[in-house]
Amino acid sequence: MTLFDRVFSGNDAVYGLTEGAINDAISKYGEDKAVSFPDTAYSLPCYYSVTGTKVTTLKELKDALGVVKSLMTRDHQLNDAFMSGVATALCAEFIEVLKYIDGQVPYELPIYGHLADAVIRELGVPLVTGDIPGVAVILGSAPSVEDAVALVKSYQAQGILVTLVGGVIDQVMEAGMNTGANVRVIPLGKDVTAVIHVVSVALRAALIFGNVKPGDAATLMDYTMKRVPAFVNAFKPLDDVIVACGAGAIALGFPVITNETENIFRVPKSLIVQEDVSKFNATSLEARDIKIKITNVDIPVAFASAFEGEIIRRKDMQVEFDGSRVDCAELVHTVDASEIEDHKITLIGPDLDEMADGSKNSIAYVVKVAGKKMQPDFEPVIERKFHNYINCIEGVYHTGQRDMQRIRVSHAAFNAGFRAKHIGEVLYTQVKNEFDAVVDKCEVVIYTDPAECTRIRHEVAIPIFNKRDDRLANLTDESVEVYYSCILCQAFSPSHVCVVTPERLGLCGAVSWLDAKATNELDPTGPCQVITKERPIDENLGSYEDVDEAVKKFSQGALEHVTLYSIMQDPMTSCGCFECICGIEPFSNGVVIANREYAGMTPLGMTFPEMASMTGGGVQTPGFMGHGKHFIASKKFMKAEGGVERIVWMPKELKETVAERLNKTAKDLYGIDNFTDMIGDETIATDPEELVGFLTEKGHPALGLDPMM
């Protein structure tokens, strides 16, 4: 027998029962007898949601059954199975409503049966907010009472709303479990048809919270699939009626997880066989894509940003890990979801209590993450937060990154019970909480065994770091499809918009293209938005219609045109938090760059603050531009005016910082060796004429270029 046959046969059986029940009711009460569920404005809720027609009397119920019959097509297409599933559910609703006829009270607490609209409005809010992360529908009898209780409790602990149908109700009663809406365990009824009462909740939620129009079945099913995080756990044996109900659940987007292996057909993501009942929880959550919010970090000391600045002195220190002396590493590594187990924390090597007081040790922690939306480009973004996470632990401090981190654990934290695994606990919790948009599963491995640390550092971490650096170095404006806007600073610079490209990071120096990309992914309505680059106007200037449109939109109309590569024509604006400013120096045809830290005079006759006053506030001042330090060595640095060979002066300290990369760029672009030696600084000249003398002596290329204005 195929799965289709089982669904159809279950559907036919339920239809037969329903028809008989309605006919019996009509002969007993007459056609005009009223039928309704109590305390709902949507009677009958499921039928009304799907068809848009309200049913109030037995006659109308009989007519409705005719409509249901029309859903029961028998071609062997997927849609036939789904529609037969829906038909089965509607029949179940009819059977259930007949139980309420003539003011009967078919269910008594602790068994709920039909749930009132008020309950849905109340449950709907936490469902929307994610405080109830999911709805479990448990159907049938678990292999044992213990299994039933363990499963229900596991969902309860996660805040998931549990509804019970069938034998499992007796099992939790036998165990003496507390049930009720207040503890989020709701027994619906012992007949399989009682499952309709949770379907009714899902469909009414779509009407109330989703503004879905009754009768718009396609939108309805789209809503339940995307917004109602329900799933079904069905215990064996599954008869055809349950299989048909299951088809209805799947039609609404609710996966069915079962331990039945006889005569069952696996459907990926929809009908899942999990023989081990203790794994129902994990399998269900993964199938329905439910993420559990973690509210507290399970460590023996406090965790708060108040401890971020805490310094652990040598005499207060229990143990130290120091990447500058021994092999250490910290790493985020993207893996496939099947390779890891969520929240598993492993320690390889001695724990803190096996290390001598005051000793220096190796440590390496690898945070393995998996997620449908995870990209290796986000790894460094997550990794960079480790410093902040570990520092927030009371009595632990952290500096550095990659393989140069240094961690100290205080005596007080150690005595309170802090051990190596707690570092893993903190990393796990924080990564899951803060990066839940991209991280679905996370596992942490902590190495303290020195040989393992050496292996991880040199064979795993460093090759990955190198790969990342290569990727960054190879990222060019031409090699990517999109740029990003950044309007983080608009709170105080209302019309400024940064256009962040791989070769031009934000002028604050803190937002690279990868950061902007990650920010966009993590917070899709946030400050970094995608800017396409499909309609170039002038590639040399770096002007695009798309960029102009974006800038106009994000500056609320204050800016109309921005070029990416020119300092003279429509230069990019600055907020006020630029690391550096470059300004045109007319005597030498070049530009002078000053960094924020530089307090002295420049050959322009202006100090940094004076230059800043001309540049900030989101205004375009041709000839002046704010930018990040990293941008100086970019091949796109004022490319339209000739590039870095225009740089004639920088403060000595800044020159030293950028020398290596700038020399390489000048070599690549113009074949000039040791270009920075040709650039003046405050020890050489702060007077324009002296500067020109120096440049002439060095043969600086800017002197031979066309004037910029």
Partner 1 sequence: MPFNQKPQKFNAKINTVKIGTGDKAIEIGGESSFPFYSFDAPVPVTQKVGIEITDGGLEAMPECIRAYYDGASSMGDIARKAASFEGVDFLALLLDGGDPNGANKSTEELIAIVKEVAEAVDLPLVVEGCKNVEKDAELLPKVAEALQGRNVLVMSEKEENYKAIGAAAGLAYDQIVGAESAVDINLAKQLNVITTQLGVNGAKVVMNVGTAAVGYGYEYVVSTMDRIKGAALGQNDNMLQMPIITPVASETWGVKEASASEADMPEWGPVEERGIDMEVSTAAADLAAGSDAVILRHPKSVETISRLIQALA
Give contact residues for partner 1 (rule: CB under 8 A). 121-122, 124-126, 128-131, 208-211, 487, 490-491, 494, 525-527, 553, 556-557
Kindly tell me which of 410 and 555 has the beta carbon lying closer to partner 1: 555
Closer residue to partner 1 (CB): 472 or 558: 558
CB 211, min distance to partner 1, A: 6
Give least dist CB 622 to partner 1, A: 25
Q: Whose Cβ is closer to partner 1: residue 125's or residue 157's?
A: 125
Q: Is residue 557 helix, strand or coil?
A: coil
Tell me how far the alpha carbon of residue 503 is from its chain's centroid: 26
What single DSSP character describes residue 441?
E
Name the minimum Å distance from CB 118 to partner 1: 9
State the Cα–Cα distance between residues 89 and 97, nearest whole angstrom. 12
Q: Contact at 8 Å (CB) between 235 and 259?
A: yes
Q: 218 or 491: whose CB is closer to partner 1? A: 491
Min dist CB 128 to partner 1, Å, is 4
**Encoded tokens for 450:** 């020195």
Question: Which amino acid is residue 3, in one-letter code?
Answer: L
> Which CB sits closer to partner 1, 110 or 130?
130
**Least Å distance between CB 107 and partner 1?**
25
Least distance between partner 1 and beta carbon 551 (Å): 13
We find the least distance from the C-beta atom of residue 451 to partner 1, in angstroms, to be 47
SS3 353: helix
CB 184 within 8 A of CB 132: yes
**Side-chain-facing half-sphere of 58: CA atoms under 13 Å:** 21
130/576 with CB nearer partner 1: 130
H or E element that contains 317: strand 317-322
C-alpha–C-alpha distance, residues 594 and 596, integer Å: 7
Tally of CA atoms within 13 A in the half-sphere of 77 that contains its CB: 6
Task: Work out how close the CB of 485 gets to partner 1 at its nearest, in angstroms, rounded to a whole number.
Answer: 11
334 DSSP β-pair partners: 369
The size of the chain, in residues, is 709
Q: What pairs with residue 148 in β-bridges?
A: none
Q: Are the C-beta atoms of 108 and 30 separated by less than 8 Å?
A: no
Q: Assign 3-class secondary structure to 37-83.
A: CCCCCCCCHHHHHHHCCCCCEHHHHHHHHHHHHHHCCCCCCHHHHHH
- Could you tell me how far CA 439 lies from the centroid of its own chain? 6
Q: Minimum distance from CB of 116 to partner 1 (Å)?
A: 13
Whether residue 12 contacts residue 84, with contact meaning beta carbons closer than 8 Å, is answered with no
C-alpha distance across the termini of the chain, in Å: 84
Please, what is the minimum distance in Å from the beta carbon of residue 487 to partner 1?
A: 6
Give min distance, CB of 491 to partner 1, in A.
Answer: 5
Strand partners, 34: 57
Nearer to partner 1, 1 or 118 (CB): 118
Strands 580-585 and 271-273: unpaired
Residue nearer to partner 1 on the CB measure, 121 or 667: 121
Going by C-alpha positions, the residue among 468, 449, 308 that lies closest to residue 382 is 468
| Nearest-approach distance from CB 468 to partner 1, in angstroms | 31
Closer Cβ to partner 1, 130 or 400, answer by number: 130
Token pair of 496 as six digits: 């400024």
How far apart are alpha carbons 349 and 398 in whole angstroms? 20
Q: In this structure, how many other beta carbons lie within 10 angstroms of the beta carbon of residue 70? A: 9
Shortest Å, Cβ 260 to partner 1: 37
How far apart are CB 527 and partner 1 at their closest, in Å? 7
Which residues make beta-bridge pairs with 256? 232, 271
Please, which residue, 16 or 524, has the CB nearer to partner 1?
A: 524
**In this complex, which beta carbon is closest to partner 1, that of residue 62 or of residue 553?**
553
Q: Can you tell me the distance from the alpha carbon of 618 to that of 626, in angstroms, rounded to the nearest whole number?
A: 10
Nearer to partner 1 by Cβ, of 125 and 599: the residue is: 125
Residue with smaller CB distance to partner 1, 93 or 117: 117
Residue 412 or 558: which CB sits closer to partner 1? 558
> The dihedral of CA 311, 317, 323, 324: what is its sign?
positive
Of the candidates 632, 611, 636, the one whose C-alpha atom is nearest the C-alpha of residue 621 is: 611
Closest by alpha carbon to 676, among 648, 641, 704, 642?
Answer: 648
Shortest reach from residue 117's CB to partner 1, in Å: 10
DSSP string computed for 662-688: HHHHHHHHH--SSGGGGSB-TTT-SSH
In the complex, what is the shortest distance from the CB of residue 81 to partner 1, in angstroms, rounded to a whole number? 30
Q: Which is nearer to partner 1, 275 or 523 (CB)?
A: 523
What is the CB neighbour count within 10 angstroms for residue 1? 10
**Alpha carbon distance 318, 180 (integer Å):** 49
Q: Which long-range contacts (CB under 8 A, 24 or more apart) does 282-287 make?
A: 282/342, 283/257, 284/134, 284/136, 284/231, 284/233, 284/255, 284/257, 285/134, 285/158, 286/337, 286/440, 287/231, 287/255, 287/257
296 or 474: CB nearest partner 1 = 296
Nearer to partner 1, 25 or 115 (CB): 115
**Shortest spacing between CB 168 and partner 1, in angstroms:** 30
> Would you say 488 and 388 are in contact if contact means Cβ atoms under 8 Å apart?
no
